[in-house]
Amino acid sequence: MNVESYMIELGQRAREASRLMARADTGRKNAALQYMAEAIEAGRARLAQANREDLDNGRTNGLDAAMLDRLELTPARIDTMVEGLRQVAALADPIGGINGMNYRPSGIQVGKMRVPLGVIGIIYESRPNVTVEAASLCLKAGNATILRGGSEAIQSNRAIAACIAEGLKRAGLPETAVQVVETTDRAAVGQLITMPEYVDVIVPRGGKGLIERISREARVPVIKHLDGICHVYIDSDAERAKAINIALNAKTHRYGTCNTMETLLVDGAVAAQMLPELGDVYRQAGVELRGCERTRALLPDALPASEEDWSTEYLAPILAVRVVDGLDEAIEHINRYGSHHTDAIVTENYSKSRRFLREVDSSSVMVNASTRFADGFEYGLGAEIGISTDKIHARGPVGLEGLTSEKYVVLGDGHIRQ
Amino acid sequence: MNVESYMIELGQRAREASRLMARADTGRKNAALQYMAEAIEAGRARLAQANREDLDNGRTNGLDAAMLDRLELTPARIDTMVEGLRQVAALADPIGGINGMNYRPSGIQVGKMRVPLGVIGIIYESRPNVTVEAASLCLKAGNATILRGGSEAIQSNRAIAACIAEGLKRAGLPETAVQVVETTDRAAVGQLITMPEYVDVIVPRGGKGLIERISREARVPVIKHLDGICHVYIDSDAERAKAINIALNAKTHRYGTCNTMETLLVDGAVAAQMLPELGDVYRQAGVELRGCERTRALLPDALPASEEDWSTEYLAPILAVRVVDGLDEAIEHINRYGSHHTDAIVTENYSKSRRFLREVDSSSVMVNASTRFADGFEYGLGAEIGISTDKIHARGPVGLEGLTSEKYVVLGDGHIRQ
């Protein structure tokens, strides 16, 4: 069978399974998640064996250390998968909830019911634990899933898929509700993202290159996460200690995450007070600074920032620093150079905080908090499948609700249009 | 200047205007809408003159009668445009509203603020009144708009655009917040739908061919409205009078609308009671019936329905009729052959109504009401820019809220991630 017809068959089975999943009881979905956790617990030896095969192949194929690290299913990572399944089981079920049911002048009642999206295709790179994370969230939201992991993780993904299938079966749900693409042929991705009859949305998880390619070629909506060029703006009315703490935390808490600050903006009125101290704390943390001219006048150690620095996601101990004259210039800079991900102001001023919140066009806008809070767990979504930089559908951290849609519900008593 | 750079320039201006629109006061937006209404009132003679030019050209170019009718700006249609502007001014402003602001264990507060989408491209065919309808809704939702009407309506659209610009200017809003594409070159559409840097979403309004072509070629999300193959299912527990009234209204209230019923399903248990009477009322209304074999056994006049009839949007006095055995078969038929637009059950049975609402995968599901109610005005949205058959983002009638997005708002007091 060629790849195209293989993928169409997966799609047809997923579409069929999605109808059954859409009406599955909350209790049954939770049972499936619990049974999957049990199957993974019981299958630790098999998972470890499959993962060793992938690692051996990876070494033979010359994968680099970072790639091999992401590929490895350590006992701790298996624990996290099991724990994750139980957490998703504990989340409230969004499906079927009805909101805003109101009477209209015609006499009908109109409201909205939350419903699954249908079939979700997940495309991801090496980390096999994504298989469980993605499948569990999609399942709880009543969707069927087609998972396409990296070819380097194929044995691990198959072993995990067997545990997922066992959980679904024990709970009386269709095993085809979660399908792992069994071929490593790259054409499978091309087919998956161009069959709107069978797939309702694609969620790519991986590097920017993968996501851009998929967005360009997809004929299906894509919930995408591109870069995070996040800012902290220290306003002239900032409290000094809050400003230093937030600016340090937003940059140094973790370097490789999308909600890490990449550019610090400081109001000219307080630059002389703030920058020397900030220079010290960043120096101690080992952060390289790249500043505008006014920054470098106060911090001679800082390297000169080029125009390109303002729109670079370093994901590293490097920080661009710019002195701006007031709120308007800060907002202008953020909307122009940022990636509309997460941006924060530090200020005690009511009017300026209010303007920042309204006028900065980002998926998360913050006052006096570290950009590192932009996260599904921190926001109370329970879990996240990613952080969307789109404006359409889901924006910011995407939890269960981002994997659902709504439909209108109309109740009448024989009502007809006049 | 070539078309490509002309469109990019429109896009850049729209993007700039969208930043100003995003922070425009509700009062100012409403004033602009009122001033536009006044400008159209005052400009009736100019509008009529421009429209006559289009009509003359249309006749010369051999447009058919239906096309010329859609193109015409009668005094009544101008009244409707003016009235529409005042209605949109009276709608509540969705922008800036904050929902679900709650404290999290970390101490931060997290909520969601409603924000504009940014720049919306509207592509439509002959009807020039769409220019005002679309622009006013997009404006109230804080967006900038690029309007590409049919080339046959170019003079009318220019005259309307002048009134819109006047209203924006008088209210102190950027005139570039609503731009009409001034070239009739078809390449303009190709450019408009492939510049995600400047356009956030495309709303095509027109025939299925136009919408399918745009969806296929767009590199920007499209809020689309394909066909409406709507069903009414008369259950064995239906009340006879309600069933007859709804089945008649859903088909005959208007033939050409997307929420008109195209297939009637009748439970076999009540077919012998229901179908002869239904046959009479449809015969009186001049509706041609195309039935399955069981239907034709009860209604010998009915033509035989082919497989194709079950998935045809007639938009005409034709109705497909099928006898099914119970709710499961009805739901199966609707989910398989329908277009996931609007479907209704007529029943007095609690459990069956509950299952129908949950299991039918359509943008509107109804109990004991005519499918003709699927409409932005009837649902209380105030106005609609169309009915979306997508699942992502907006589903069903799209009003102001469908032209917006949300962003997360986080408030802290110097909070940092631990």
Same domain, B141 and B246: no
Question: Which pLDDT band, with edges at 50, 70 and 90, does B392 fall under?
Answer: confident
Tell me how crowded residue B132 is: count the other CB atoms within 10 A of its CB.
28
Residue A195 in tokens: 């069959």
pLDDT at B417: 96
Helices assigned H by DSSP within B125-267: 129-140, 154-170, 187-192, 208-217, 240-252
Same domain, A306 and A236: yes
ipTM above 0.95, yes or no: no
Q: Which of A200, A239, A365 sits opposite B407 (nearest CB)?
A: A365
Residue B354 belongs to some domain of the structure:
yes
pLDDT bracket for residue B100 (50, 70, 90): very high
A414 closest CB neighbour out of B241, B359, B365: B241
Residues 6+ apart with CB under 8 A from A129: A73, A77, A80, A81
pLDDT exceeds cutoff 80 at B168: yes
**Is A336's Cβ below 8 Å from some Cβ in B?**
no
Predicted confidence (pLDDT) per residue in B39-68, tens digit: 999 999 999 999 999 999 999 999 999 889
Average pLDDT over residues B338-351: 97
Q: Which of A:204-223 have CB within 8 Å of B?
A: 216, 219, 221
Q: Report CA A359 to chain centroid distance, whole Å.
A: 24
- Which residue reads 């002239």 in tokens? A236
From chain A, pick out residues whose CB is under 8 angstroms from the CB of B246. Answer: 414-416
Q: Quick check: B1 pLDDT over 80?
A: no
Q: Name the helix (H) or strand (E) containing B10.
A: helix B3-22
Please report whether residue A385 resides in a domain: no
- A92–chain B Cβ distance below 8 A for any pair: no
Q: What is the pLDDT of residue A125?
A: 83
Average pLDDT of chain B is 95
- What's the CA gap between B177 and B309, in Å, rounded? 45
Residue B327 maps to a domain: yes
Per-residue pLDDT, averaged over B100-114, amounts to 96
Nearest-CA residue of chain A relative to B410? A366
CB-nearest to A415 from B118, B369, B413 is B369
Interface of A with B in 126-165 (CB under 8 A): none
| Residue A167 maps to a domain | yes
Distances B258 to A205, B227, B250, B372, B374 between C-alpha atoms, Å: 37, 7, 11, 9, 9
Res. B306 pLDDT band, cuts 50 70 90 = very high
Residues B32 and B54 in one domain: yes
Question: Is the CB of A373 less than 8 angstroms away from the CB of B106?
Answer: yes
Q: Measure B156 CA to nearest chain A CA, in Å.
A: 32
> In terms of domains, do B253 and B347 share one?
yes
State whether B140 and B87 are in the same domain.
yes
What radius of gyration, in Å, describes the C-alpha atoms of chain A? 24
Tokens 């609308």: give the residue: B257
Give how far B400 is from chain A: nearest CA, Å: 14
CATH number, domain with residue A170: 3.40.605.10
Top mean pLDDT of B183-197, B356-370, B374-388 is at B356-370
Residues A157 and A105 in one domain: yes
Judge: A366–B393 Cβ closer than 8 Å, yes or no. Answer: no
Whole-number Å distance between alpha carbons of B325 and A20:
20
Strand order in the sheet with A119-124: A178-180, A144-148, A119-124, A201-205
Assess A28–B contact: CB distance below 8 Å, yes or no.
Answer: no
Strands A178-180 and A261-267: unpaired
The mean-pLDDT minimum among A258-272, A302-316, B218-232, B357-371 falls in B218-232
Q: Which domain holds residue A291?
A: 230-373
DSSP-derived secondary structure letter, B140: H
Residues A19 and A165 in one domain: yes
Residue A389 in domain: no
What's the total number of domains in chain A? Answer: 2
Query: How distant, in Å, are the alpha carbons of A90, B133, B243, B399, B418 from that of B373?
Result: 38, 20, 16, 15, 52
Same domain, A42 and A171: yes
Looking at residue A15, what is its pLDDT?
95
Nearest residue of chain A to residue B253 (CA atoms): A417
Which residues does chain A have within 8 Å of residue B347's beta carbon, measured at their own beta carbons? Answer: none
State whether A299 and A157 are in the same domain.
no
In a domain, B418, yes or no: no
Chain B residues with beta carbon closer than 8 angstroms to that of A391: 117-118, 200-201, 405
CB of A44 within 8 Å of any CB in chain B?
no
**Angle CA A109–A111–A116, to nearest 5:** 145
Q: Is A257 on the interface with B (CB under 8 A)?
A: no
List the pLDDT tens digit at each of the 418 positions of chain A. 799 999 999 999 999 999 999 999 999 999 999 999 999 999 999 999 999 999 999 999 999 998 899 899 999 999 999 999 999 999 999 999 999 999 999 999 999 999 999 999 999 887 888 889 899 999 999 999 999 998 899 999 999 999 999 999 999 999 999 999 988 888 999 999 999 999 999 999 888 888 888 988 888 889 888 789 999 999 999 999 999 999 999 999 999 899 999 999 999 999 999 999 999 999 999 999 999 999 999 999 999 999 999 999 999 999 999 999 999 999 999 999 999 999 999 999 999 999 999 999 999 999 999 999 999 999 999 888 888 888 888 899 999 999 999 999 999 999 999 9
Residue of B122, B162, B156 lying closest to B138 (CA atoms): B122
Question: Can you give the pLDDT at residue B3?
Answer: 94
A202 or B209, which is more confident?
A: A202
pTM above 0.95, yes or no: no
**Cβ–Cβ contact A253 with B under 8 A:** yes
| Contact between chains at A414 and B118 (C-beta distance less than 8 A) | no
User: How far is A42 from chain B, CA to nearest CA, in Å?
Assistant: 34
A105 and A47 in one domain?
yes
In a domain, A333, yes or no: yes
Q: Verify whether the Cβ–Cβ distance A117 to B368 is below 8 Å.
A: no
Scanning the structure block, which residue is given the tokens 């209404």?
A: B37
Q: Is residue A285 part of a domain?
A: yes
Q: What is the predicted pLDDT for the residue at B201?
A: 94
- Looking at chain A, which residue has its C-alpha nearest residue B370? A416
Within A111-205, residue ranges assigned H as helices are: 129-140, 154-170, 187-192
Backbone angles phi, psi at B411, to 5 degrees: -115, 130
A241/B414 CB distance under 8 A:
yes
**What is the rounded distance in angstroms from the CA atom of residue B237 to the CA atom of residue B214?**
44
Q: What is the mean pLDDT of residues B78-88?
A: 94
Locate the chain B residue with the closest alpha carbon to A23.
B359
Chain B residues lying within 8 Å of A374, measured CB to CB: 408, 410
Q: Which CATH number fits the domain that encloses residue B297?
A: 3.40.309.10
Examine the domain organization and report whether B214 and B243 are in the same domain: no
pLDDT at B383: 81
Contact A372 B117 (CB under 8 A): no
Averaged pLDDT, B379-399: 88
The DSSP result for A266-328, as a single string, is: EEHHHHHHHHHHHHHHHHHHT-EEEE-HHHHHH-TTSEEPPGGGGG----SSEEEEEEESHHH
Same domain for A236 and A200? no
When pLDDT is cut at 50, 70 and 90, the band that residue B393 belongs to is confident
The pLDDT value given to residue A255: 95
